[in-house]
Amino acid sequence: MGPFRTAAGEPNRFELAVRPSASPAQNVSTRGVLDEGAFVSMLYLERRRAERGDKRYVLMLLDVQNALSGMEGASHSTRLTQAVCSITRETDIVGWYVQNTLIGVIGTEVGQASSQEIRRVMSERFRRVFSSVLGPEKASLIFVSFHFFPEERGNGNSNDSENIALYPDLSRKATSQRLALGAKRLMDVLGSACALILLSPLFVLIALAIKLTSKGPVLFRQDRLGQHGKRFRLLKFRSMRTNCDSKIHEEYVSRFIAGQFQRGVTIEEKQVFKLQKDPRITRVGAFLRKTSLDELPQFWNVFTGAMSLVGPRPPLEYEFKAYEVWHRRRVLEIKPGITGLWQVQGRSKTTFDDMVRMDLHYLRNWSLLWDLKILLQTPFAVFSGDGAH
């Protein structure tokens, strides 16, 4: 977090969007300040509304712990929350993000105002009102941070991950499921270790086949997005020629996510973009992909903790950038997996939206028993090769 800062010389175009109601006193008296549990619940609901309606909002977090230190009684925190209510819109949601430590404000539907402008205008408003309530010295101890939804990711060159401050419900869910998630991790470690040991002869045979038929390394390393959008290096057996251009796959992915392979697309057009016709794939690579043997090195990703045996498949950065807002949930709530509901029920026969719905259905209803069922169904899906390419 950073202290209150303002930037000179910018037009105040956000002024009307955050202007308080005509009667601040009435506004304070009729608005409630939510406790921590209620505020986190409202933040979850606002995120869902924003996903469904493609809206944009901002979460403002005010760290008041140092400012309230040494002040006895609840009157000072009440004065602070009332002050926040007086300078925010009636439709904004005010409450405790962390009780008596972080005041949260959900600025709903901020429209097209720039992030920099919102930061400048609101920081100045908070600075003025807190200075009048606590005095300049105490007000200088209050820090503010701004978190915009949808998240403003970098250009792909940094190791930025999703802004977890927007998802406090996920950390609470993880805490409540700590025992079950611990059992899932134990299953991942034991399962991946056994797979790496038992399949080691097959690893050697595949490595020899790759080396004898094409130039280049045996393993292919690729950056993917894991839980909370954090990058990790995914391992696969190399199935393509070296130094291949990724534009073919990028174009395919963009069109697949946009749903352009559903209706109204000619057979000839589909053939151009079907990845089983990808000219970059070697003959050995085609077999590895058809049988999913190219995925075997990912047992090491599972063993080291970047992935799980069961979970949504991890996307590439350019795939994620093509997502709609609601698609992003599939990379947030659980580790990506080698296999999952889509792999055993749909694979490439489904649309992208249907694939995401399967992933979200899995996330909502996850259990260890369901993981075991998916793992037992995976060998049949692999050996049948149905929908694989």
- Does 137 share its domain with 181? no
Q: How far is CA 214 from CA 186, 279, 280, in A?
A: 38, 14, 12
- Does 362 share its domain with 249? yes
- Do the domain assignments include residue 172? no
User: Can you give the pLDDT of all 389 residues of the chain as single tens digits?
Assistant: 444 443 333 333 344 344 444 444 444 445 789 999 999 999 999 999 998 888 899 999 999 998 888 776 567 788 889 999 999 998 999 999 999 899 999 999 888 888 999 999 999 999 999 999 888 998 999 999 999 998 866 544 444 456 788 888 888 887 778 899 999 999 999 999 999 999 999 999 999 999 999 999 999 999 999 988 889 999 999 998 887 767 777 777 878 787 765 444 444 444 333 454 667 889 999 999 888 899 999 999 999 999 999 999 999 988 888 888 888 888 888 899 999 988 888 665 678 888 899 999 999 899 999 999 999 999 888 777 655 55
- Does 135 share its domain with 69? yes
- Does 89 share its domain with 220? no
Instruction: Say if CB 248 and CB 281 are below 8 A apart.
Output: no
Domain span at residue 238?
A: 177-384
Write out the two tokens for 56: 């944009």
- Does 216 share its domain with 359? yes
Q: Report pLDDT for 386.
A: 57
- Do the domain assignments include residue 168? no
Instruction: Say if CB 169 and CB 97 are below 8 A apart.
Output: no
Q: How far apart are CA 219 and CA 240, in angstroms?
A: 11
- Does 131 share its domain with 35? yes
- Does 183 share its domain with 130? no
Q: Which of 149, 168, 200 is the last residue of a domain?
A: 149
- Do the domain assignments include residue 389? no
- Do the domain assignments include residue 167? no
Domain holding 83: CATH number?
3.30.70
Residue 113's nearest CA partner among 10, 6, 9, 17 is 17
- Does 198 share its domain with 69? no
- Does 217 share its domain with 289? yes
- Do the domain assignments include residue 130? yes
Q: Could you read off the pLDDT of 89-148 as tens digits, one per residue?
A: 989 999 999 998 999 999 998 888 889 999 999 999 999 999 998 889 989 999 999 999
- Do the domain assignments include residue 165? no
- Does 183 share its domain with 145? no
- Do the domain assignments include residue 166? no
Instruction: Say if CB 103 and CB 35 are below 8 A apart.
Output: no
- Do the domain assignments include residue 169? no
Please give the tally of structural domains in the chain. 2
- Does 222 share its domain with 371? yes
pTM, two decimals, is 0.76
Write out the two tokens for 367: 């259990």
Half-sphere exposure for 324 (CA within 13 Å, toward CB) = 18
